[in-house]
Amino acid sequence: METCVRGEAKVIHQMGLYGEYFKAIREGKKRVEVRLNDEKRRKIKVGDIIEFVKVPEQDDKLQVQVVELRNLVIQRHLF
C-alpha cells in the first residue's frame, strides 16, 4: 500500500506498517523507519507527512512528519 497525495500545503505518503512497529511509533518508542530507497521512497522529502496504516487490519492510521532523511549503503552480501 503506497500512495502519494500532492497538495499545495503538504505532501502525504501512505505506507503500511505492521502492528508491533505501528504501536512503537505511536508510543514514541520507535523514531526511525528504514525503507528500501526505491522509486516511491525517493519522492519523500523533509517536511512531508507519512501516514502509516496498520496492516494487515488497516483499521488505524498515524501521521508523522519527516524531519530527516538518510541514505544508508548496505552491502549486497547481507541479503
Domain locations in the chain as residue ranges: 2-78
CATH architecture of the domain 2-78 equals: Roll (2.30)
Put simply, whether the predicted model's pTM sits higher than 0.85 gets the answer no
Does the CA dihedral 64-31-53-6 come out positive or negative? positive
Q: Is the pLDDT of residue 73 over 70?
A: yes
Per-residue pLDDT, averaged over 8-28, amounts to 91
Higher pLDDT, 19 or 8: 19
Per-residue pLDDT, averaged over 36-59, amounts to 93
3-state secondary structure of 15: strand
Beta bridge partners of 74: none
Q: Is the pLDDT of residue 79 over 60?
A: no
Per-residue pLDDT, averaged over 49-67, amounts to 95
Contact criterion met (CB below 8 Å) for 13 and 49:
yes
